[in-house]
Structures are given as structure tokens and as C-alpha cells.
Structure 1
Amino acid sequence: MFIIAQGCFRLNKLHLEWCCGISDGGLAAVLRGCSELTDLSLEFCGKVTGEAFSGLACKIEKLDLVACDAVKNEGLLAAATACSRLKELRVTSNQKGASLTKGVEGAAKFCKGLEALCIHACGLKDETLRSFATSCPLLSSASLSCEPAVTDGGLAAFLAGLPKLESLSLQHMDGLSGVPRVGASKRLKKLRLGYWWNAPDLFLRGLSEETTLEELRLECCPHLTDATVDSIFAGCRSLKLLVLLDNKLITAESIRAYLRHGKKSTLQILECPGATKENVPDDLRTVLQDVFP
């Protein structure tokens, strides 16, 4: 890291993965020596705490802190303060019960130009989402997973305050009782719902009212039925792609719905035991290549 800092003054992209020997000292040297750095990834760099950012003003626009489990609130706040130009941020934790709420809220406060956000198992709360809705109006892509303290109210505030949001992924969000409702006044084009164990089929059917959706991915939704898939095809007038992954109740009837609505969008079925290449009726075999990639 010290050699890079001394010899790569114009470096603008640095991606490091599983570099367990890198410490804050080495990172600090690079941040000071490579002042043109705009893209920094530190995936699984377990010794980095984030303190290397303290007192600096960086040009970094893309920061990846995936599984940097030594990073705590103080280090994340230091990174957010130093990287006020940040456009993309990824923060994930492998630590059970991790709480990076203050650090993530710092990113909302200091990085007002943020456009893409990915957060996993960081102990977020409803107030954290409200802080992004208030401070980051340019946010267009968000991925949230394993954040059980987030409730319907927090998500509703998040969606209401982000007029430019086009892509949303929600996985393992056990605190949510219903599917997100966006409405035609918003710009949401891509929605991914994963591991919605408790979402009733009736709630999922509400997705059919989201007329702006172009891409919808439903993964591990055990109560999803063919009837709801039919409603989605009928109601989501802008839909171009529907992906069904590991949904136990889905059968060949979803393929019939796809054909019934004129194949206006693409349907992909993956790992749904009730609808496989082997058990599809003969009259549907003409679309096997389309539906089972």
C-alpha cells in the first residue's frame, strides 16, 4: 500500500478483496498519496476500521465496504465526512447484532449527492431511512437486506421522499408486513422482493397496481400463487421482465397467464418445483426455451 501511495499519483480506481494484511495505516497512505482516487473497494478487508479517512477530503465517488467487519460507527462516519462527493455506497456486515446506524445516517447527512445505496445487516431503523429520504433526493437505486427493525412506516417514508428512485431490492426484511406501495406518481422501474416468508398472496397481488414497473423479481415468496401472477401480467402495463425464483406454489398456470396476456413481457421461472421443464404440459412446450433459461 505504501508503494502504491508513492508511485501511483494518478490512480483513480482501486479494488481490494480479501486483503487481510491491509491496515488503516496502509489505507491512509493511499488516500493521501492517490488524491485522484474516485472508486475504492475494500471487500473483506478485515483490519480496516475506517479511521484512515479521518481529517481527509477525498474525491471518492464510489465506496465499497462489504464485510469490512472492523468498521464501526466512528470509522463509517469518518469515511462519510471525508467522501462528501460519494455517489455509490455499499456497507454490509457479517457480525451478528451489528449496529452501524449512526455511521449510515452520517452517510445520509454528509453525502447528499448519493445515487446508489446497498446496506446489509447494519442494524438500520426507520429513522435511518427517513434520513436518506430527507437528505439524498438523487437516490435512484437502493438495496436493503436483513434489516429486521425497518417497518412499513419507515419504508413508506423512504419511498415517499425519493422521487428519483428507479430500482429497489428488499430481501429478508422481516419487519415489513406488506409489500411496498409506490404508486404511478413515482418512477420505480425495478423491484426485487426476496425471502418474504410471511407475505400473504393478497398482499403480493397489490403489486399488480404498480403500473410503472418494468422489471419485477419475486424470490422465495412461499404464498405467491398463479392467480397473482396473472394479476401482475394484467395490471403492470409497463412490465418487460418477470422473474419467479423458488416459489413453491407456482405451476404451469403462470405460463398460461403469460401466454394469455400476449407475451408482452418476458417470463423466467427458476427453481419452482411446480413448474419445471419436465412437468410442463405438452401444449406449453413451445415456450420452454423462453421461460426456463
Structure 2
Amino acid sequence: MRGHDWINTSLPDELIVEIFRRLDSKSARDACSLASIRIGATGSPDLFVNLLASRFSNVKNVHIDERLSISLPIQLQGRRRASDNSTVSSLKLHYVTEKSGSDDGDVDSICLSDAGLAALGKGFPKLEKLSLIWCSNVYSEGLISLAQNCSCLKALDLQGCYVGDQGLAAVGQYCKRLEDLNLRFCEGLTDKGLVELALGVGKSLKSLGVAACAKITDISMEAVGTHCRSLETLSLDSEFIHNKGVLSVAEGCPQLKVLKLQCINVTDDALKAVGTSCLSLELLALYSFQKFTDKGLRAVGSGCKKLKNLTLSDCYFLSDKGLEAIAAGCEGLTHLEVNGCHNIGTMGLESIGKSCHNLTELALLYCQRIGNDALLEVGRGCKFLQALHLVDCSGIGDVALCGIAIGCRNLKKLHIRRCYEIGNKGIIAVGEHCKLLTDLSIRFCDRVGDDALIAIAEGCSLHNLNVSGCHQIGDAGVMAIARGCPQLCYLDLSVLQNLGDLSMAELGENCPLLKEIVLSHCRQITDVGLSHLVKSCSKLESCHLVYCPGITSAGVATVVSSCPNIKKILVEKWKVSQRTKRRAGSVISYLCVDL
């Protein structure tokens, strides 16, 4: 049928691979229009790369992840992927299969190797984007071969690969179009490799990420600042980078728009350079800084007038004055996260509410000094707020949430965790005023009960709901959600001791789109309720059932037999019968294996 993908949604994977084996003519291969491949790198990845590379030359996007496993022959498992395309534009081959003992087979043979990478380069000469995630058996030799054959490469992700300087230098020499490079956890690299890469692709490079590379120092950053004048995004996580390196980038890369720093040896001087030179900066994220103060943040507020997104995490010496400077200078701010900055309080956030009227997302995590007045000001000034995240904010309660609900009618996402002063009153106000809310998470807020969920069900059409640990919530609240939110896709009801089978029956009857449900630690739910739930929820893909004493092996078997799309069941091992294991062993995960 035109406009529907019968291949990806209906054919099992082993049949698709067999079809690929038989595509010998160029016209047949071209008809598949395969442009993107995603495979695991544990199993027999070299065989798959050779198989696909010998048949498809137009592939432009390859993602290989050693954390995902693949085996030959492929286990029988129907494809679940839906697509609106009538051609096979993307192939995903990744499985988590039960591993045999560590003594079986050669470890090198089950990981992507230099030979596989070389075959990939020769088979896919039009490759533009390559991700090699934690491919620990790939070294410089394979990367050199790839670079020599893939001159069109624009994006390269080498996270966790032990490639050396020679391989990176080859990328700089041959891949003159490279724009995006991720070197996170590439422990084999030194300044020599990154300097040579900067010399080679300095004119094209726009994005660079470096983390946990102990031998990459300020020397590399000086080379980046000198040669990569078009750099727009830089992410640095290193204790070996100092002011000198950040200063070089700030002064040498005038087009820098995104800067993420976790460098404990960088001080105010570097931030002052950012404020003076990076006038196009739109996103700034500062993590775990202990050597800069409000002086650095004042410079950013004074110079970076285009700043829209600011994250301040564990920056202990920042205070309200720094946030006030941002509010005064960066009125176009749309996203703000303050995480664990213990000297930032109510006054700093009040200034944001008064000045940054375009704010759409606000996250306050572990902010003990921020009180109700701060969010009341945000409610008055930030009418476009769409997302609010609150974690462990002991000074924020119902008064603040009522102010947000009344003032921020565009709120779509509300996530709250361990804010013990927030109860029914605040959540009821959200239900009454925030009609666009689709994503609600209230975790371990022990003053929230059924009345709050009833109000939400009457006023909002939720797609995602998490009420884990809210022990006052029972069947009445969840039944109201089931009747009022038929679009519900994700539901976490874990650790609700008063929840029983009645709510499961209502969910099964009224929420046919439900894909994920978490019922762990729900002691009153039994096999009866579970059978009612899964009878009509045919789209269910994930179900967590650990520590539910009322659910037995019969209930687990019911989930397997009733849910054709199930991909993950989390349960105790002793609740899985041999028959269920034979039937659906690949989708069952165990919280605790043999002790």
C-alpha cells in the first residue's frame, strides 16, 4: 500500500538480511534507497559491515554502538519500527542477546575491528556521518583507512574509541569537509593528534567535544583558537585545560554559539574573555566550577546579549548578584537551569522573572535558598513558560505553584521531585489553569493525593504521568486519569501502596495508546488486574513488575501472550517460567540475577 512501510513493520529481521544477501543487481540495490544504518558492535559486526558494504554504496549515515549486541544468525524477532516512507531509508540491526561464557570465542572477533572499519570506508565512499560508540577494538589503522576513502565525511563521533594521534591526523588530512567531531573518552589521544586535525580541517570544523582526554591540554585549544575560526560549538570536560586554552578559543572563534565547560582549573579571567569576545554566544553551560565568581558571570551578562540558554551546575561561589547580571544583560533568555548553586536564592530568580519575559523552560535543582516569592515573580513575568522542573527545593510550596499555574497558561511540562511543601492545592491549580499540560511528573511528593489527580484529569489531556512514591494516591486518582486522559502513553505508578486492580481495569479499558507502564513495588496489584490492563493495551512495549507480590509467573505469561509489541519486561527471575523464557526470553530483564 502506498505511503505505508510494510517492510520494516512486518518482516522479521533475519528475512530482511536474507533479502539483502540476494540483492546482486545495482538496480535492485538502488531500489532500496538505503541511506542510514544502525548496528551493534558486539557479536559479528565485521561480517555485517562487509555484507552491507558489498551491496550498498549510497549509505551516508552509519551508527555503530558496542553497547548494543548483534549475533549471526539473527534471532527471530519481528520488526517494530513504523515509518511513513515507502522505501527502506534506514536499517536498524541491534539486539541484546543472552551472552555465553567469557571463554567462548575470541573477544576481538565479536567487536568491530580495524578491518571492519576499513571495509566500511571502502564500501561507503559517500559516507557523511559516522558514529563509533565505545568501539574499543578500533585503532588508528582503521581510522586512517576510513579517512582515505571517505572524503565526504562531515560528522565523526569517536566516543570511547582508543584511536591514536595518527588516525586523527589522517582525518584532518583527508576529510576536508568535517564539521562535527566528538572525542569524548578518547584516552589514546594527545595534543599532537588534535593539533594536526585543527591544521587540516580548521576551515570547516564547527563543533568539537573533548572529555576525559588526559593528554589533551591548552596546546590543543590554542591550535583550535588559531585555526578553527568557524567553530560554533565547543564542549570541554577536563582538569588539564586552564585559562590559556579557553582564552585562545574565546578570542579566536568569533562565531562561537555554544560553550559547555567542566574545567575545574578555569577562573574568572576565562569567563571575562568569553563575555568580551563571544558576542554570538547563545548557550552557556558551566559545571562544577570552584574558581570563578560573580565577576565572570557579570562579564557574560554584559557582553553576551544573544544568550538564550544558561546552565549553572555546582558553581558554589555564584550568588544572586551573578544571576541579576544575567537578567539585566540577557533579556532574551529562554532556558535557565540552576543546579546545586547553594548561594543563589530568591532575589536572583526574582530578577529573572522581572526581566526575562521570553523564558520557556526553568529548572531548579537542589536550590534550598529559593522560596515562593521567586516563582511568584516568574509567574507574573514569564507568560510563555512551557516547562518547569523542581527537585529538592524545600522552600517552594503550593503558593509558588499556584502563582505559576495562574500566570503560565502555556505550561506543557511539569516535573517535581521531593518538594515536600507542594501538595494538592498547587497541583489542583495546575489542573484548573494549565489546559495544555501533557507531561506531569510528581515523584515522592507525599502531600499529593487523589484530589490532585482528579483535577488534572478534568483539565488536562496527559501523555506522560509519573506519580512514583506519592503514597496518598490510590485507585480513585488513577481511575480518574484513565477516564480523562485517553492519550496516555507513559505511566509510572511505582511505590503506590494503596493502588489495586480496579485502576488497572480502568487503564486497560480507557488508555489503548499506553506504551510504557511501571508498577514496581505496588503490593496490591495482582494477576487479575494485570490481565485487565494488557487485554486492551495492545501497544504496550515496556512493563516493570519487580517487587509486586500479587503478580506471579502466570501474570508475566499473560503480558507476553497479550502484548505483541512488548520489548521489555522487568521482573524477578523466579517469576519467569521456562515456557515464558523460551517464548520471550529476549525481552525479559531481571532486576536481580542469581545471588
Answer whether TM exceeds 0.5 for this pair. Answer: yes
Change over 3 Å in CA distance of 1:78–1:72 after alignment to 2: same
Counterpart of 1:118? 260
Counterpart of 1:87? 232
CA distance in 2 between counterparts of 1:219 and 1:91 reads 23
Between 1:31-40 and 1:265-274, the stretch displaced more is 265-274
1:190, 1:213 within 8 Å by CA — same for their partners in 2?
Answer: yes
Change over 3 Å in CA distance of 1:68–1:287 after alignment to 2: farther
Counterpart of 1:11? 153
CA deviation map 1:218-245 (0-9, x unaligned) = 1110122234322321233443322212
1:100 alignment partner AA? H
SS of equivalent to 2:362:
strand
2:309, 2:334 within 8 Å by CA — same for their partners in 1?
Answer: yes
* Alignment of 1:150 onto 2:292: yes
Equivalent of residue 104 in structure 1, options 224, 227, 246: 246
1:88, 1:117 within 8 Å by CA — same for their partners in 2?
Answer: yes
* Alignment of 1:209 onto 2:354: yes
Counterpart of 1:167? 309
Change over 3 Å in CA distance of 1:207–1:2 after alignment to 2: same
CA deviation map 1:68-100 (0-9, x unaligned) = 23211112212332322111111112x4xx442
Counterpart of 2:448? 280
Q: How many residues align?
A: 289
Q: CA deviation at 1:162?
A: 1.1
SS of equivalent to 1:104:
helix
Equivalent of residue 180 in structure 1, options 309, 320, 323: 323
Between 1:106-115 and 1:64-73, the stretch displaced more is 64-73
SS of equivalent to 2:328:
coil
CA distance in 2 between counterparts of 1:118 and 1:194 reads 15
Change over 3 Å in CA distance of 1:247–1:267 after alignment to 2: farther
Which one scores higher on RCO, CA 8 angstroms, separation ≥ 6?
1
* Alignment of 1:218 onto 2:218: no
Q: CA deviation at 1:282?
A: 5.0
Counterpart of 1:246? 392
Change over 3 Å in CA distance of 1:164–1:227 after alignment to 2: closer
CA deviation map 1:105-134 (0-9, x unaligned) = 111121111111111124222221121222
1:104 alignment partner AA? V
- Which runs of 5 or more structure 1 residues have no equivalent in the other structure? none
Q: TM-score, normalised by structure 2?
A: 0.45
Counterpart of 1:49? 190
Q: CA deviation at 1:63?
A: 0.7
Change over 3 Å in CA distance of 1:29–1:99 after alignment to 2: closer
1:184, 1:212 within 8 Å by CA — same for their partners in 2?
Answer: no
Equivalent of residue 236 in structure 1, options 373, 382, 401: 382
2:390, 2:419 within 8 Å by CA — same for their partners in 1?
Answer: no
CA distance in 2 between counterparts of 1:184 and 1:86 reads 24
Counterpart of 2:222? 77
Counterpart of 2:537? none
Q: CA deviation at 1:172?
A: 1.0
Change over 3 Å in CA distance of 1:122–1:50 after alignment to 2: farther
CA distance in 1 between counterparts of 2:295 and 2:310 reads 16
CA distance in 1 between counterparts of 2:450 and 2:200 reads 64
2:372, 2:395 within 8 Å by CA — same for their partners in 1?
Answer: yes
2:318, 2:343 within 8 Å by CA — same for their partners in 1?
Answer: no
Q: CA deviation at 1:201?
A: 3.2
CA distance in 2 between counterparts of 1:40 and 1:241 reads 31
2:371, 2:395 within 8 Å by CA — same for their partners in 1?
Answer: yes
Counterpart of 2:411? 265
* Alignment of 1:40 onto 2:211: no
1:41 alignment partner AA? N
Q: TM-score, normalised by structure 1?
A: 0.88
2:386, 2:408 within 8 Å by CA — same for their partners in 1?
Answer: no
1:250, 1:272 within 8 Å by CA — same for their partners in 2?
Answer: no
Q: CA deviation at 1:264?
A: 4.2
1:103 alignment partner AA? G
SS of equivalent to 2:158:
strand
CA distance in 2 between counterparts of 1:102 and 1:255 reads 45
1:57, 1:83 within 8 Å by CA — same for their partners in 2?
Answer: no
Between 1:5-14 and 1:76-85, the stretch displaced more is 76-85
1:32 alignment partner AA? Q
CA distance in 1 between counterparts of 2:300 and 2:329 reads 16
2:168 alignment partner AA? L
Q: Taking every aligned residue pair, what percent have the same amino acid on both sides?
A: 26
1:187-202 paired onto structure 2 within 5 Å: 187-202=332-347
Counterpart of 1:31? 172
SS of equivalent to 1:244:
strand
Greater helix fraction, Structure 1 or Structure 2 = 2
CA distance in 2 between counterparts of 1:262 and 1:176 reads 28
CA deviation map 1:107-164 (0-9, x unaligned) = 1121111111111124222221121222222111111111222211221111110121
Counterpart of 2:163? 22
